Amino acid sequence: MVSEGDRAPDFTVPLAGGDGYDDVSEFTLSAAIGDGPIVLAFVPGAFTGGCTEEMCTFGSELGSFEALDASVYGVSVDLPFAQNVWMEQEGFDVPMLSDWSHEVTRTYDVVYPDMYGSIESAQRSVFVIDANGVVTYRWVREGGNPEFEPFVDDVREEVKAARR
């Protein structure tokens, strides 16, 4: 389990940028560390109500995170092409990390093993990683309720604390 105070496990996954179906590049966490705090917002799946609400909420607040030199990334087990369509369809601009192999979800210990009784996905969760690569905040939704609890203000405060 990745906890507060732990070094964030490194990973490399596809990055969906949202500018067209094939806007896919590579993202490596260790390459992004040092530029400021990083927020990883794990969601169970694209095109679902709670996940769309969460990513749209983060998207509408993206400027306030950027003002803190923080980067926000959504993470789901969807393929990056589907993530791009979702981003375009719903109009949010939070870059999405595609954990289609489920390795990141398992490494960060946020597996939702029985989403809708059919697939392994990520539990709704948020990690803040400081510029040194240390996890300074960990929140994981307990239970099976897929609804998003709007807590962006709390995450922003944790990002401020991670900057110190």
As a whole number of angstroms, the distance between CA 83 and CA 120 comes to 17
- Tell me if residue 56 is catalytic: no
As a whole number of angstroms, the distance between CA 128 and CA 13 comes to 18
Q: Report residue 163: phi and psi, to 5°.
A: -80, -15
Indicate which residue of 46, 51, 72, 159 is catalytic.
Answer: 51
Beta bridge partners of 13: 27
Q: Report residue 7: phi and psi, to 5°.
A: -70, 135
Q: Which residues are catalytic?
A: 51
